[in-house]
Amino acid sequence: MEKINWFPGHMKKALDIMSKEVKNVDALIYVLDSRAPFACLNPEFVKIVGNKPILFVLNKIDLADEAKIKEIKKNLLDDNRLVVELNSTASGAIKTIQSSLEKLCFNIFEKYKSRGINPFIRAMVIGVPNCGKSTLVNNLCGGYKATTGNKPGVTKAKQWVKISKNLELLDTPGTLWPNLSNQEIGKKLAFIGSIKDEVISSEDLALLLIEELRKEYKTMFENRFAVETNEKSSIEILEEIAKKRKYLIKGGEVDYERTAKAIIDDFRKGKIGKITL
């Protein structure tokens, strides 16, 4: 299988925008997909962020493994960092984000108040593609302002959005790192749809996903697809799923592409269960 990598031109431009704009913001809202949060931590962002306060948003929390998320939160928390769990499509997100930013930027708020000025925070929203950044921004501003889509690479330019009298956000394009040297991270980003599906064949991705889920979520996986995974290769498991679901082509042959896409789709929609890799 070919190396997983994807870094189109607009991502280089996005990193340049972030480097330029970071000095104009008070804090960062770092959106992570709760199904693979550590894979979403982009080392390129570390160089840009510096010591700015960070609000980590564990997004798509309704699809995640609560026990694992509890441990992950401990690793993300710091003096200059806060963590919130969120489903960016649910109502009430603005209260969670606004109150967390006020805590995180307490000194800035106090400085404004002491001068008799209405406190105001500007925050940059960052994250890998398809983590739900623009959906979150749209939810916060109560309308359709930032471009969204259920695939990576939809937002391709910076977008300033006023959320309230106290908060303005800069939505940035989802950005990966130029060289995915760690293919374990590459796999997980591909599983959650942060890497364009055309970069790796659906069959290859499904086989990798089967291998991952049978190790970490064996019972869940077997229950969803009504298969036994012991003593079987990933390809044998995929073929068994195809036969059970009657995903066959002329002559009774397995339709590998359709089966692979169905397995990936079931994972992404949470139909296998609440999973965090």
Nearest to 164 by CA among 61, 93, 115: 93
Reported confidence tier of residue 257, pLDDT bands at 50, 70, 90: very high
Write out the residue limits of the CATH 3.40.50.300 domain(s) in the chain.
9-171
For residue 237, give the 3-state DSSP assignment: helix
Average pLDDT of the chain to the nearest whole number:
87
The amino acid sitting at 243 is K
Contact 176, 18 (CB under 8 A): no
Residues 81-98 pLDDT 10s: 999 999 988 878 888 998
Residue 190 pLDDT: 93
Q: How much of the chain exceeds pLDDT 90, in percent?
A: 52
pTM of the model: 0.88
Residues 19-48 pLDDT 10s: 888 999 999 999 999 999 999 998 878 888
Q: What is d(CA 23, CA 5) in angstroms, rounded to the nearest whole number?
A: 30
Average pLDDT over residues 61-88: 94
Reported confidence tier of residue 163, pLDDT bands at 50, 70, 90: confident
Write out the residue limits of the CATH 1.10.1580.10 domain(s) in the chain.
201-268
Residues 182-241 pLDDT 10s: 788 889 999 999 988 888 899 999 999 999 999 999 999 999 999 999 999 999 999 999
Residue 157 predicted with pLDDT over 80 = no
Largest Cα span, the chain: 78
CATH classification (class only), 9-171: alpha beta
CATH classification (class only), 201-268: mainly alpha
Burial 67-88 (b: 16+ CB within 10 A, else e): ebbeebbeebeeeeebbbbbbb
Reported confidence tier of residue 243, pLDDT bands at 50, 70, 90: very high
